[in-house]
Structure 1
Protein backbone atom coordinates (compact mmCIF):
# COMPACT_ATOMS: atom_id res chain seq x y z
CA UNK A 1 0.00 0.00 0.00
CA UNK A 2 1.49 3.32 -1.09
CA UNK A 3 1.09 6.72 0.52
CA UNK A 4 -2.41 8.11 0.05
CA UNK A 5 -3.86 4.79 -1.14
CA UNK A 6 -6.86 2.96 0.29
CA UNK A 7 -6.13 1.13 3.52
CA UNK A 8 -7.41 -2.43 3.99
CA UNK A 9 -10.12 -1.19 6.36
CA UNK A 10 -11.25 1.54 3.96
CA UNK A 11 -11.32 -0.92 1.07
CA UNK A 12 -13.40 -3.35 3.12
CA UNK A 13 -15.97 -0.56 3.59
CA UNK A 14 -16.41 0.36 -0.07
CA UNK A 15 -15.71 -2.93 -1.91
CA UNK A 16 -19.27 -4.28 -1.44
CA UNK A 17 -20.66 -1.05 -2.92
CA UNK A 18 -18.89 -1.43 -6.28
CA UNK A 19 -20.41 -3.16 -9.34
CA UNK A 20 -19.08 -6.66 -9.97
CA UNK A 21 -19.33 -6.64 -13.76
CA UNK A 22 -19.27 -3.97 -16.47
CA UNK A 23 -22.21 -3.17 -18.70
CA UNK A 24 -20.95 -5.58 -21.37
CA UNK A 25 -20.94 -8.49 -18.90
CA UNK A 26 -17.16 -8.71 -18.52
CA UNK A 27 -15.43 -8.28 -15.18
CA UNK A 28 -13.84 -4.93 -14.39
CA UNK A 29 -10.13 -4.40 -13.99
CA UNK A 30 -9.18 -4.51 -10.28
CA UNK A 31 -11.32 -1.80 -8.63
CA UNK A 32 -8.84 -1.10 -5.85
CA UNK A 33 -6.00 -0.48 -8.30
CA UNK A 34 -8.15 1.89 -10.36
CA UNK A 35 -9.44 3.86 -7.35
CA UNK A 36 -5.88 4.19 -6.05
CA UNK A 37 -4.95 5.55 -9.47
CA UNK A 38 -7.69 8.18 -9.24
CA UNK A 39 -6.56 9.08 -5.71
CA UNK A 40 -2.97 9.48 -6.94
CA UNK A 41 -4.23 11.82 -9.65
CA UNK A 42 -6.22 13.86 -7.11
CA UNK A 43 -3.41 13.97 -4.57
CA UNK A 44 -0.73 15.12 -7.04
CA UNK A 45 -2.71 17.11 -9.60
CA UNK A 46 -0.57 15.52 -12.33
CA UNK A 47 -1.86 14.88 -15.88
CA UNK A 48 -3.56 11.54 -16.51
CA UNK A 49 -0.83 10.49 -18.92
CA UNK A 50 1.76 10.72 -16.10
CA UNK A 51 0.02 8.00 -14.09
CA UNK A 52 2.65 5.52 -12.74
CA UNK A 53 2.71 2.10 -14.41
CA UNK A 54 1.78 0.31 -11.16
CA UNK A 55 -1.74 1.68 -11.53
CA UNK A 56 -2.30 0.30 -15.01
CA UNK A 57 -3.40 2.22 -18.13
CA UNK A 58 -4.42 5.81 -17.46
CA UNK A 59 -7.33 5.49 -19.88
CA UNK A 60 -8.84 2.75 -17.70
CA UNK A 61 -8.81 4.98 -14.61
CA UNK A 62 -10.23 7.95 -16.51
CA UNK A 63 -12.95 5.82 -18.09
CA UNK A 64 -13.92 4.42 -14.68
CA UNK A 65 -14.18 7.97 -13.31
CA UNK A 66 -16.33 8.99 -16.28
CA UNK A 67 -18.68 5.98 -16.23
CA UNK A 68 -19.26 6.06 -12.49
CA UNK A 69 -19.86 9.80 -12.60
CA UNK A 70 -22.56 9.21 -15.22
CA UNK A 71 -24.38 6.42 -13.38
CA UNK A 72 -24.08 7.97 -9.91
CA UNK A 73 -21.81 5.29 -8.40
CA UNK A 74 -19.55 7.81 -6.65
CA UNK A 75 -22.58 9.53 -5.10
CA UNK A 76 -23.97 6.20 -3.88
CA UNK A 77 -20.66 5.28 -2.26
CA UNK A 78 -20.61 8.56 -0.34
CA UNK A 79 -24.25 8.12 0.64
CA UNK A 80 -23.63 4.63 2.02
CA UNK A 81 -20.67 5.84 4.07
CA UNK A 82 -22.82 8.63 5.55
CA UNK A 83 -25.69 6.20 6.24
CA UNK A 84 -23.44 4.03 8.39
CA UNK A 85 -22.31 7.01 10.44
CA UNK A 86 -25.87 8.17 11.00
CA UNK A 87 -26.96 4.68 12.02
CA UNK A 88 -24.54 4.75 14.95
CA UNK A 89 -25.49 8.29 15.92
CA UNK A 90 -22.19 9.83 14.80
CA UNK A 91 -23.66 12.55 12.59
CA UNK A 92 -24.30 15.80 14.41
CA UNK A 93 -27.10 17.61 12.62
CA UNK A 94 -25.84 21.15 13.02
CA UNK A 95 -25.02 22.10 9.43
CA UNK A 96 -22.48 24.76 8.48
CA UNK A 97 -22.57 26.18 4.95
CA UNK A 98 -20.05 28.15 2.91
CA UNK A 99 -18.38 28.31 -0.49
CA UNK A 100 -14.89 28.60 -1.92
CA UNK A 101 -13.45 29.62 -5.27
CA UNK A 102 -11.32 27.17 -7.24
CA UNK A 103 -9.02 28.63 -9.86
CA UNK A 104 -9.43 26.77 -13.15
CA UNK A 105 -6.34 25.78 -15.09
CA UNK A 106 -6.30 26.74 -18.76
CA UNK A 107 -6.70 23.03 -19.61
CA UNK A 108 -10.12 23.07 -17.90
CA UNK A 109 -11.56 25.34 -20.60
CA UNK A 110 -12.67 24.40 -24.08
CA UNK A 111 -14.85 21.35 -23.42
CA UNK A 112 -16.99 20.34 -26.37
CA UNK A 113 -20.66 21.19 -26.06
CA UNK A 114 -21.72 17.80 -27.39
CA UNK A 115 -21.14 14.39 -25.91
CA UNK A 116 -21.76 14.97 -22.20
CA UNK A 117 -24.21 12.60 -20.56
CA UNK A 118 -27.47 14.53 -20.32
CA UNK A 119 -28.58 12.84 -17.09
CA UNK A 120 -25.43 14.09 -15.38
CA UNK A 121 -26.15 17.59 -16.67
CA UNK A 122 -29.62 17.62 -15.12
CA UNK A 123 -28.49 16.05 -11.85
CA UNK A 124 -25.74 18.60 -11.26
CA UNK A 125 -27.82 21.53 -12.60
CA UNK A 126 -24.80 23.48 -13.85
CA UNK A 127 -24.37 25.75 -16.85
CA UNK A 128 -21.30 26.26 -18.97
CA UNK A 129 -19.43 23.42 -17.23
CA UNK A 130 -19.47 25.48 -13.98
CA UNK A 131 -16.80 27.86 -15.25
CA UNK A 132 -17.18 31.60 -14.85
CA UNK A 133 -15.32 34.85 -14.47
CA UNK A 134 -14.68 36.35 -11.06
CA UNK A 135 -11.93 38.46 -9.49
CA UNK A 136 -9.65 35.45 -9.60
CA UNK A 137 -10.14 34.96 -13.34
CA UNK A 138 -11.59 31.74 -14.70
CA UNK A 139 -13.00 29.97 -11.63
CA UNK A 140 -15.48 27.47 -10.30
CA UNK A 141 -17.17 27.68 -6.92
CA UNK A 142 -17.73 24.78 -4.55
CA UNK A 143 -20.73 25.18 -2.24
CA UNK A 144 -20.49 22.87 0.75
CA UNK A 145 -22.66 21.81 3.68
CA UNK A 146 -20.90 19.97 6.51
CA UNK A 147 -22.01 18.49 9.80
CA UNK A 148 -20.74 19.61 13.19
CA UNK A 149 -17.56 17.55 12.78
CA UNK A 150 -16.78 19.21 9.45
CA UNK A 151 -17.65 16.23 7.22
CA UNK A 152 -19.33 16.89 3.84
CA UNK A 153 -23.08 16.32 3.67
CA UNK A 154 -23.86 17.89 0.28
CA UNK A 155 -21.89 19.51 -2.54
CA UNK A 156 -22.90 21.90 -5.32
CA UNK A 157 -20.75 23.23 -8.14
CA UNK A 158 -21.39 26.56 -9.88
CA UNK A 159 -19.50 29.13 -11.96
CA UNK A 160 -17.19 31.32 -9.92
CA UNK A 161 -19.35 34.45 -10.13
CA UNK A 162 -22.47 32.74 -8.73
CA UNK A 163 -23.91 34.13 -5.51
CA UNK A 164 -23.91 32.21 -2.25
CA UNK A 165 -27.35 32.85 -0.77
CA UNK A 166 -29.40 31.31 -3.66
CA UNK A 167 -27.55 28.01 -3.09
CA UNK A 168 -28.39 27.61 0.59
CA UNK A 169 -31.76 25.91 0.13
CA UNK A 170 -30.55 23.68 -2.76
CA UNK A 171 -27.68 22.55 -0.52
CA UNK A 172 -30.14 21.60 2.21
CA UNK A 173 -32.43 19.88 -0.30
CA UNK A 174 -29.48 17.79 -1.47
CA UNK A 175 -29.05 16.33 2.04
CA UNK A 176 -30.87 13.01 2.26
CA UNK A 177 -29.40 10.50 4.70
CA UNK A 178 -31.13 7.17 4.23
CA UNK A 179 -32.05 5.25 7.36
CA UNK A 180 -30.23 2.02 8.15
CA UNK A 181 -33.54 0.22 7.93
CA UNK A 182 -37.15 1.29 7.21
CA UNK A 183 -38.20 4.92 7.19
CA UNK A 184 -37.77 8.00 5.09
CA UNK A 185 -34.34 9.59 4.60
CA UNK A 186 -33.55 12.38 7.05
CA UNK A 187 -33.31 15.73 5.27
CA UNK A 188 -33.89 18.38 7.93
CA UNK A 189 -31.01 19.51 10.16
CA UNK A 190 -31.51 20.89 13.64
CA UNK A 191 -29.65 24.13 12.89
CA UNK A 192 -27.90 25.88 10.00
CA UNK A 193 -24.90 28.18 10.57
CA UNK A 194 -23.76 30.53 7.80
CA UNK A 195 -21.91 33.82 7.38
CA UNK A 196 -23.30 37.20 6.31
CA UNK A 197 -23.47 36.21 2.64
CA UNK A 198 -26.47 34.02 3.49
CA UNK A 199 -28.19 36.54 5.75
CA UNK A 200 -31.34 37.55 3.90
CA UNK A 201 -34.91 37.93 5.17
CA UNK A 202 -36.26 35.47 2.60
CA UNK A 203 -33.74 32.85 3.74
CA UNK A 204 -34.71 33.32 7.38
CA UNK A 205 -38.40 32.98 6.51
CA UNK A 206 -37.81 29.84 4.43
CA UNK A 207 -35.85 28.12 7.21
CA UNK A 208 -38.38 29.18 9.84
CA UNK A 209 -41.11 27.50 7.79
CA UNK A 210 -39.07 24.32 7.70
CA UNK A 211 -38.57 24.42 11.46
CA UNK A 212 -34.78 24.87 11.17
CA UNK A 213 -32.93 27.19 13.54
CA UNK A 214 -30.67 29.66 11.70
CA UNK A 215 -27.58 31.38 13.06
CA UNK A 216 -26.13 34.11 10.85
CA UNK A 217 -25.09 37.71 11.57
CA UNK A 218 -27.01 40.52 9.90
CA UNK A 219 -25.32 42.52 7.17
CA UNK A 220 -24.69 46.19 7.86
CA UNK A 221 -27.09 47.34 5.14
CA UNK A 222 -29.86 45.14 6.57
CA UNK A 223 -29.30 46.61 10.04
CA UNK A 224 -29.44 50.13 8.63
CA UNK A 225 -32.71 49.51 6.76
CA UNK A 226 -34.33 47.91 9.79
CA UNK A 227 -33.35 50.81 12.05
CA UNK A 228 -34.51 53.37 9.49
CA UNK A 229 -38.02 51.92 9.73
CA UNK A 230 -38.10 52.44 13.48
CA UNK A 231 -40.63 50.30 15.30
CA UNK A 232 -41.95 49.01 11.96
CA UNK A 233 -38.59 47.42 11.28
CA UNK A 234 -39.16 44.82 13.98
CA UNK A 235 -36.68 43.24 16.33
CA UNK A 236 -33.26 42.06 15.20
CA UNK A 237 -33.02 38.32 14.52
CA UNK A 238 -31.61 36.21 17.32
CA UNK A 239 -27.87 35.65 17.06
CA UNK A 240 -25.66 33.56 19.35
CA UNK A 241 -21.96 34.29 18.97
CA UNK A 242 -20.94 31.09 20.72
CA UNK A 243 -22.95 28.96 18.29
CA UNK A 244 -21.64 30.96 15.33
CA UNK A 245 -18.06 30.24 16.40
CA UNK A 246 -18.66 26.62 15.38
CA UNK A 247 -18.95 27.63 11.72
CA UNK A 248 -15.18 27.27 11.33
CA UNK A 249 -15.63 23.54 10.68
CA UNK A 250 -16.66 24.25 7.07
CA UNK A 251 -13.50 26.32 6.52
CA UNK A 252 -11.43 23.46 7.92
CA UNK A 253 -13.20 21.03 5.58
CA UNK A 254 -12.26 23.18 2.59
CA UNK A 255 -8.65 23.13 3.78
CA UNK A 256 -8.72 19.34 3.99
CA UNK A 257 -10.25 19.01 0.53
CA UNK A 258 -7.66 21.34 -0.97
CA UNK A 259 -4.88 19.12 0.33
CA UNK A 260 -5.80 17.15 -2.79
CA UNK A 261 -3.91 19.25 -5.33
CA UNK A 262 -6.24 18.13 -8.08
CA UNK A 263 -9.03 19.98 -6.24
CA UNK A 264 -7.07 23.06 -5.17
CA UNK A 265 -6.83 23.83 -8.90
CA UNK A 266 -9.44 22.59 -11.33
CA UNK A 267 -8.03 20.64 -14.28
CA UNK A 268 -11.15 18.70 -15.35
CA UNK A 269 -12.96 20.08 -18.38
CA UNK A 270 -16.31 18.58 -17.45
CA UNK A 271 -18.19 19.78 -14.39
CA UNK A 272 -19.48 16.22 -13.89
CA UNK A 273 -15.94 14.87 -13.60
CA UNK A 274 -14.83 17.62 -11.24
CA UNK A 275 -17.91 17.02 -9.09
CA UNK A 276 -17.07 13.30 -9.03
CA UNK A 277 -13.52 14.09 -7.90
CA UNK A 278 -14.84 16.25 -5.05
CA UNK A 279 -17.22 13.44 -4.08
CA UNK A 280 -14.35 10.92 -4.01
CA UNK A 281 -12.28 13.22 -1.79
CA UNK A 282 -15.30 13.75 0.50
CA UNK A 283 -15.70 9.98 0.79
CA UNK A 284 -12.04 9.67 1.82
CA UNK A 285 -12.59 12.28 4.56
CA UNK A 286 -15.53 10.27 5.91
CA UNK A 287 -13.56 7.02 5.80
CA UNK A 288 -10.57 8.53 7.57
CA UNK A 289 -12.71 9.89 10.38
CA UNK A 290 -14.76 6.71 10.71
CA UNK A 291 -11.70 4.46 10.84
CA UNK A 292 -10.01 6.72 13.38
CA UNK A 293 -13.07 6.45 15.63
CA UNK A 294 -13.17 2.64 15.29
CA UNK A 295 -11.56 0.89 18.28
Structure 2
Protein backbone atom coordinates (compact mmCIF):
# COMPACT_ATOMS: atom_id res chain seq x y z
CA UNK A 1 0.00 0.00 0.00
CA UNK A 2 1.33 3.41 -0.96
CA UNK A 3 0.61 6.19 1.53
CA UNK A 4 0.52 9.81 0.37
CA UNK A 5 2.61 11.83 2.81
CA UNK A 6 1.90 15.52 3.40
CA UNK A 7 4.80 16.68 5.59
CA UNK A 8 7.61 17.86 3.34
CA UNK A 9 11.27 18.12 4.36
CA UNK A 10 10.93 21.91 4.60
CA UNK A 11 7.88 21.61 6.84
CA UNK A 12 9.56 19.02 9.05
CA UNK A 13 12.55 21.31 9.37
CA UNK A 14 10.25 23.75 11.17
CA UNK A 15 8.56 21.08 13.28
CA UNK A 16 11.64 19.15 14.40
CA UNK A 17 13.29 21.76 16.70
CA UNK A 18 9.98 22.19 18.53
CA UNK A 19 9.27 18.52 19.28
CA UNK A 20 10.23 17.04 22.68
CA UNK A 21 13.68 15.45 22.97
CA UNK A 22 14.13 11.80 23.88
CA UNK A 23 14.01 11.11 27.62
CA UNK A 24 17.32 10.75 29.45
CA UNK A 25 16.20 7.42 30.84
CA UNK A 26 13.81 4.84 29.53
CA UNK A 27 12.64 3.99 26.04
CA UNK A 28 13.25 6.51 23.28
CA UNK A 29 10.40 8.15 21.43
CA UNK A 30 9.20 6.50 18.23
CA UNK A 31 10.10 8.62 15.19
CA UNK A 32 8.29 11.92 15.58
CA UNK A 33 7.92 12.57 11.86
CA UNK A 34 6.34 9.21 11.10
CA UNK A 35 4.05 9.50 14.12
CA UNK A 36 2.93 12.97 13.05
CA UNK A 37 2.24 11.66 9.56
CA UNK A 38 0.16 8.88 11.13
CA UNK A 39 -1.96 11.39 13.08
CA UNK A 40 -2.43 13.54 9.98
CA UNK A 41 -3.39 10.50 7.87
CA UNK A 42 -5.99 9.36 10.39
CA UNK A 43 -7.80 12.71 10.60
CA UNK A 44 -7.31 13.65 6.96
CA UNK A 45 -8.95 10.42 5.79
CA UNK A 46 -11.39 9.96 8.67
CA UNK A 47 -10.36 6.31 9.04
CA UNK A 48 -10.48 4.33 12.30
CA UNK A 49 -7.21 4.13 14.25
CA UNK A 50 -6.73 0.35 13.67
CA UNK A 51 -6.80 0.95 9.89
CA UNK A 52 -3.56 2.93 10.05
CA UNK A 53 -1.19 1.66 7.29
CA UNK A 54 1.80 -0.36 8.44
CA UNK A 55 4.17 2.17 6.86
CA UNK A 56 3.08 4.72 9.48
CA UNK A 57 3.79 2.54 12.50
CA UNK A 58 1.61 1.43 15.37
CA UNK A 59 -1.76 3.14 15.75
CA UNK A 60 -1.46 2.83 19.55
CA UNK A 61 1.76 4.86 19.42
CA UNK A 62 0.15 7.59 17.29
CA UNK A 63 -2.96 7.76 19.46
CA UNK A 64 -0.99 7.93 22.71
CA UNK A 65 1.32 10.61 21.25
CA UNK A 66 -1.72 12.70 20.26
CA UNK A 67 -3.12 12.54 23.80
CA UNK A 68 0.20 12.90 25.63
CA UNK A 69 1.18 16.02 23.74
CA UNK A 70 -2.31 17.41 24.29
CA UNK A 71 -2.06 16.93 28.05
CA UNK A 72 1.44 18.40 28.39
CA UNK A 73 0.66 21.32 26.05
CA UNK A 74 3.11 20.39 23.28
CA UNK A 75 0.65 21.07 20.46
CA UNK A 76 -0.13 24.52 21.85
CA UNK A 77 3.57 25.34 22.30
CA UNK A 78 4.36 24.40 18.70
CA UNK A 79 1.48 26.54 17.44
CA UNK A 80 2.69 29.44 19.61
CA UNK A 81 6.14 29.13 18.06
CA UNK A 82 4.68 29.20 14.55
CA UNK A 83 2.61 32.27 15.44
CA UNK A 84 5.67 34.00 16.90
CA UNK A 85 7.58 33.39 13.66
CA UNK A 86 4.69 34.74 11.61
CA UNK A 87 4.44 37.82 13.86
CA UNK A 88 8.17 38.48 13.49
CA UNK A 89 7.71 38.41 9.71
CA UNK A 90 4.66 40.70 10.01
CA UNK A 91 2.59 37.96 8.41
CA UNK A 92 -0.43 38.02 10.74
CA UNK A 93 -3.46 40.00 9.66
CA UNK A 94 -4.83 41.53 12.86
CA UNK A 95 -8.32 42.07 11.47
CA UNK A 96 -9.67 39.01 13.25
CA UNK A 97 -12.89 37.18 12.42
CA UNK A 98 -14.76 35.04 14.96
CA UNK A 99 -17.36 32.37 14.24
CA UNK A 100 -18.42 28.82 15.05
CA UNK A 101 -19.23 25.71 13.04
CA UNK A 102 -20.98 22.44 13.81
CA UNK A 103 -18.95 19.25 13.36
CA UNK A 104 -21.40 16.45 13.86
CA UNK A 105 -20.36 13.67 16.21
CA UNK A 106 -20.40 10.09 14.94
CA UNK A 107 -21.90 7.37 17.14
CA UNK A 108 -18.33 6.22 17.85
CA UNK A 109 -17.81 9.44 19.81
CA UNK A 110 -20.30 8.27 22.44
CA UNK A 111 -19.55 6.02 25.39
CA UNK A 112 -16.76 7.84 27.24
CA UNK A 113 -16.73 7.66 31.03
CA UNK A 114 -19.36 9.85 32.62
CA UNK A 115 -18.18 12.83 34.64
CA UNK A 116 -15.12 13.56 32.51
CA UNK A 117 -11.66 12.06 32.35
CA UNK A 118 -9.10 12.01 35.11
CA UNK A 119 -7.16 14.75 33.45
CA UNK A 120 -8.45 18.20 34.34
CA UNK A 121 -8.28 19.36 30.73
CA UNK A 122 -11.21 17.11 29.80
CA UNK A 123 -14.68 18.65 30.32
CA UNK A 124 -17.33 16.61 32.09
CA UNK A 125 -19.57 16.52 29.02
CA UNK A 126 -16.67 15.67 26.64
CA UNK A 127 -17.85 18.66 24.55
CA UNK A 128 -20.91 16.71 23.40
CA UNK A 129 -24.40 18.15 23.71
CA UNK A 130 -27.64 18.44 21.82
CA UNK A 131 -28.37 21.23 19.37
CA UNK A 132 -30.25 21.66 16.12
CA UNK A 133 -26.97 21.57 14.21
CA UNK A 134 -25.39 18.55 15.85
CA UNK A 135 -23.56 17.27 18.87
CA UNK A 136 -20.23 19.09 18.66
CA UNK A 137 -19.30 22.70 17.92
CA UNK A 138 -15.97 24.40 17.17
CA UNK A 139 -15.52 28.11 17.95
CA UNK A 140 -12.51 29.81 16.39
CA UNK A 141 -10.84 33.07 15.52
CA UNK A 142 -8.87 33.54 12.31
CA UNK A 143 -6.62 36.25 11.03
CA UNK A 144 -7.41 38.16 7.85
CA UNK A 145 -5.61 35.49 5.78
CA UNK A 146 -7.93 32.66 6.92
CA UNK A 147 -5.46 31.09 9.37
CA UNK A 148 -6.47 30.07 12.91
CA UNK A 149 -5.34 32.09 15.91
CA UNK A 150 -7.48 30.41 18.59
CA UNK A 151 -9.97 27.56 18.68
CA UNK A 152 -12.13 25.75 21.19
CA UNK A 153 -14.34 22.64 20.95
CA UNK A 154 -17.59 22.86 22.92
CA UNK A 155 -20.88 21.03 23.26
CA UNK A 156 -23.40 21.68 20.50
CA UNK A 157 -25.74 23.75 22.65
CA UNK A 158 -23.00 26.27 23.52
CA UNK A 159 -24.00 29.56 21.93
CA UNK A 160 -21.73 31.86 19.97
CA UNK A 161 -21.95 34.84 22.32
CA UNK A 162 -21.19 32.92 25.58
CA UNK A 163 -18.10 31.37 23.97
CA UNK A 164 -16.79 34.66 22.57
CA UNK A 165 -14.57 35.68 25.48
CA UNK A 166 -13.17 32.14 25.76
CA UNK A 167 -12.04 32.31 22.14
CA UNK A 168 -10.62 35.81 22.56
CA UNK A 169 -8.58 34.70 25.58
CA UNK A 170 -7.03 32.05 23.35
CA UNK A 171 -5.50 34.70 21.06
CA UNK A 172 -1.97 34.92 22.41
CA UNK A 173 0.92 35.50 20.00
CA UNK A 174 4.37 35.49 21.68
CA UNK A 175 7.01 38.01 20.65
CA UNK A 176 10.21 36.65 19.17
CA UNK A 177 12.21 39.00 21.40
CA UNK A 178 11.30 40.80 24.58
CA UNK A 179 7.81 41.95 25.38
CA UNK A 180 4.49 40.51 26.34
CA UNK A 181 2.54 38.31 23.92
CA UNK A 182 0.09 40.16 21.73
CA UNK A 183 -3.49 39.40 22.72
CA UNK A 184 -5.37 42.33 21.22
CA UNK A 185 -6.45 42.47 17.55
CA UNK A 186 -6.97 45.75 15.75
CA UNK A 187 -10.50 44.85 14.67
CA UNK A 188 -12.91 41.99 15.37
CA UNK A 189 -15.47 40.97 12.74
CA UNK A 190 -18.43 38.79 13.74
CA UNK A 191 -21.97 38.07 12.58
CA UNK A 192 -25.26 39.01 14.26
CA UNK A 193 -25.04 36.16 16.78
CA UNK A 194 -22.32 38.16 18.56
CA UNK A 195 -24.29 41.41 18.69
CA UNK A 196 -24.68 41.86 22.44
CA UNK A 197 -23.97 44.72 24.80
CA UNK A 198 -21.58 42.55 26.81
CA UNK A 199 -19.44 41.72 23.76
CA UNK A 200 -19.38 45.29 22.49
CA UNK A 201 -18.45 46.54 25.97
CA UNK A 202 -15.71 43.91 26.25
CA UNK A 203 -14.15 45.00 22.95
CA UNK A 204 -14.54 48.70 23.72
CA UNK A 205 -12.80 48.35 27.09
CA UNK A 206 -9.87 46.62 25.37
CA UNK A 207 -9.62 49.24 22.65
CA UNK A 208 -10.64 46.83 19.89
CA UNK A 209 -12.79 48.05 17.02
CA UNK A 210 -15.99 45.99 16.68
CA UNK A 211 -17.58 45.40 13.28
CA UNK A 212 -20.74 43.49 14.18
CA UNK A 213 -24.13 44.03 12.51
CA UNK A 214 -27.15 44.56 14.73
CA UNK A 215 -30.09 42.15 14.33
CA UNK A 216 -33.26 43.68 12.93
CA UNK A 217 -35.30 42.92 16.06
CA UNK A 218 -32.82 44.76 18.29
CA UNK A 219 -32.69 47.69 15.86
CA UNK A 220 -36.49 47.88 15.82
CA UNK A 221 -36.67 47.72 19.61
CA UNK A 222 -34.16 50.58 19.86
CA UNK A 223 -36.15 52.72 17.41
CA UNK A 224 -39.39 52.12 19.31
CA UNK A 225 -37.80 53.45 22.47
CA UNK A 226 -37.02 56.75 20.74
CA UNK A 227 -34.33 58.89 22.36
CA UNK A 228 -34.01 56.52 25.30
CA UNK A 229 -32.98 53.76 22.89
CA UNK A 230 -29.67 55.48 22.22
CA UNK A 231 -27.69 55.67 19.02
CA UNK A 232 -27.18 52.62 16.79
CA UNK A 233 -23.76 50.95 17.07
CA UNK A 234 -21.25 51.91 14.40
CA UNK A 235 -20.97 49.43 11.54
CA UNK A 236 -18.44 49.44 8.69
CA UNK A 237 -19.98 47.66 5.69
CA UNK A 238 -16.73 47.56 3.71
CA UNK A 239 -14.71 46.12 6.60
CA UNK A 240 -17.39 43.49 7.23
CA UNK A 241 -16.76 42.03 3.77
CA UNK A 242 -13.52 40.59 5.13
CA UNK A 243 -15.44 38.28 7.50
CA UNK A 244 -15.29 35.57 4.84
CA UNK A 245 -11.78 34.87 6.16
CA UNK A 246 -13.16 32.84 9.06
CA UNK A 247 -15.47 30.92 6.70
CA UNK A 248 -12.49 30.02 4.53
CA UNK A 249 -10.56 28.98 7.65
CA UNK A 250 -13.42 26.68 8.67
CA UNK A 251 -13.44 25.18 5.17
CA UNK A 252 -9.74 24.35 5.52
CA UNK A 253 -10.43 22.40 8.69
CA UNK A 254 -13.39 20.57 7.21
CA UNK A 255 -11.31 19.31 4.31
CA UNK A 256 -10.10 16.80 6.90
CA UNK A 257 -12.85 14.19 7.15
CA UNK A 258 -11.91 13.25 10.69
CA UNK A 259 -12.53 16.85 11.77
CA UNK A 260 -15.68 17.45 9.72
CA UNK A 261 -17.22 14.51 11.60
CA UNK A 262 -15.96 13.83 15.11
CA UNK A 263 -15.31 10.21 16.12
CA UNK A 264 -13.18 10.94 19.21
CA UNK A 265 -14.74 10.10 22.55
CA UNK A 266 -12.64 12.67 24.38
CA UNK A 267 -12.79 16.39 23.70
CA UNK A 268 -9.07 16.73 24.44
CA UNK A 269 -8.25 14.31 21.60
CA UNK A 270 -10.52 16.09 19.12
CA UNK A 271 -9.16 19.50 20.06
CA UNK A 272 -5.59 18.18 19.73
CA UNK A 273 -6.42 17.05 16.19
CA UNK A 274 -7.70 20.57 15.46
CA UNK A 275 -4.35 21.91 16.64
CA UNK A 276 -2.52 19.49 14.32
CA UNK A 277 -4.54 20.77 11.36
CA UNK A 278 -3.84 24.36 12.45
CA UNK A 279 -0.10 23.59 12.58
CA UNK A 280 -0.12 22.36 9.00
CA UNK A 281 -2.00 25.47 7.87
CA UNK A 282 0.67 27.71 9.43
CA UNK A 283 3.54 25.49 8.26
CA UNK A 284 2.36 25.81 4.66
CA UNK A 285 2.05 29.57 5.12
CA UNK A 286 5.66 29.75 6.33
CA UNK A 287 6.80 27.66 3.37
CA UNK A 288 5.11 30.04 0.92
CA UNK A 289 6.62 33.00 2.75
CA UNK A 290 10.10 31.50 2.44
CA UNK A 291 9.83 30.93 -1.32
Structure 2-normalised TM-score? 0.96
Counterpart CA distance in 2 for 1:68 and 1:259 is: 23
Structure 1: tracts of 5 or more residues without a match: none
Counterpart CA distance in 2 for 1:90 and 1:158 is: 29
Counterpart CA distance in 2 for 1:82 and 1:194 is: 22
Q: Per-residue displacement from partner, 1:151-176 (whole Å, max 9, x unpaired)?
A: 10001111011110111112111111
Q: Is the 8 A contact 1:193 1:214 kept in 2?
A: yes
Of the three residues 153, 162, 171, the one matched with 1:175 is 171
* Counterpart in the other structure of 1:234: 230
Q: Does 1:131 align with 2:128?
A: yes
Structure 2: tracts of 5 or more residues without a match: none
Q: From the superposition, tell whether residues 262 and 230 of structure 1 become closer, same or farther in structure 2 (CA, over 3 Å).
A: same
Q: Per-residue displacement from partner, 1:206-251 (whole Å, max 9, x unpaired)?
A: 1111110000100112101111110111111111111001000100
- Please state whether the residue corresponding to 1:103 is helix, strand or coil: coil
Counterpart CA distance in 2 for 1:280 and 1:23 is: 26
Aligned residues: 290
* Counterpart in the other structure of 2:94: 93
Counterpart CA distance in 2 for 1:110 and 1:22 is: 34
- Please state whether the residue corresponding to 2:278 is helix, strand or coil: helix
- Please state whether the residue corresponding to 2:210 is helix, strand or coil: strand
Counterpart CA distance in 1 for 2:93 and 2:133 is: 34
- Please state whether the residue corresponding to 1:252 is helix, strand or coil: helix
Q: Does 1:142 align with 2:143?
A: no
* Counterpart in the other structure of 2:82: 81
Q: Is the 8 A contact 1:130 1:271 kept in 2?
A: yes
Counterpart CA distance in 2 for 1:106 and 1:127 is: 18
- Please state whether the residue corresponding to 1:132 is helix, strand or coil: coil
- Please state whether the residue corresponding to 1:16 is helix, strand or coil: helix
- Please state whether the residue corresponding to 2:103 is helix, strand or coil: strand
* Counterpart in the other structure of 1:66: 67
Counterpart CA distance in 1 for 2:116 and 2:218 is: 46
Most deviating of 109-118 and 28-37: 109-118
* Counterpart in the other structure of 1:151: 147
Structure 1-normalised TM-score? 0.95
